């Protein structure tokens, strides 16, 4: 099965992504690499979902937020390259968690995104290197943000 077929089988409909308001590109292709900007949890109307993990939100809720961020990343990729089938594998994930100062379950939170990628690209190609770290604050008070690097099947011409 291809990534798009897996997405369909999992019955996942990807959310829309907004145009960037700040000065960045959501995705950028460099040869056979696809760089993805930090993505953030938002509602269908693009308003951001706020929450400090360990205070306003527990670990399981934050993990669901990370899964949502993963779906927004998939949506940005499809918008940029046309199909998830053009992506060969995950190379790197950097997950930022906005937790209280003694929060210590960052890997469980970021697994929400990593599990999604593993479902779409499989246990070998869907899992890359990763760091999951705790921030002092995040834009719009969001609980989690994820940036990533993927390898394309073919380099862009």
Where along the sequence are the contacts to a copy of itself (CB under 8 A)? 21-28, 30, 35-38, 52, 91-94, 96-108, 110-111, 114-115, 118, 127-141, 145, 147, 151
Least separation in angstroms between residue 64's CB and a copy of itself is 15
Nearer to a copy of itself, 13 or 147 (CB): 147
Residue bearing tokens 């060969």: 88
Nearer to a copy of itself, 16 or 107 (CB): 107
Residue bearing tokens 């900007």: 37
Least separation in angstroms between residue 14's CB and a copy of itself is 19
Strand 87-97 versus strand 129-134 pairing type: parallel
Least separation in angstroms between residue 141's CB and a copy of itself is 5
Cα-Cα end-to-end distance for the chain: 26
Burial of 94 (0-12, 13-18, 19+ CB in 10 A): middle
């Amino acid at each position: 099965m291809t990534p798009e077929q897996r997405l369909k089988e999992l019955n996942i409909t990807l959310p829309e992504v907004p145009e960037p308001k700040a000065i960045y590109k959501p995705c950028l292709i460099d040869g056979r690499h696809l760089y993805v900007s930090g993505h953030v949890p938002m509602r269908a109307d693009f308003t951001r979902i706020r929450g400090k993990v360990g205070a306003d939100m527990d670990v399981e809720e934050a993990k669901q937020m990370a899964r949502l961020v993963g779906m927004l990343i998939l949506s940005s990729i499809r918008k940029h390259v046309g199909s998830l089938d053009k992506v060969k594998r995950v190379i790197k994930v950097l997950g930022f968690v906005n937790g209280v100062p003694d929060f210590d379950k960052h890997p469980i939170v970021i697994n929400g995104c990593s599990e999604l990628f593993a479902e779409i690209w499989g246990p070998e190609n869907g899992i890359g290197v990763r760091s999951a770290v705790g921030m002092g604050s995040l834009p719009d008070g969001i609980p989690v943000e994820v940036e990533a690097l993927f390898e394309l099947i073919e380099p862009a011409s």
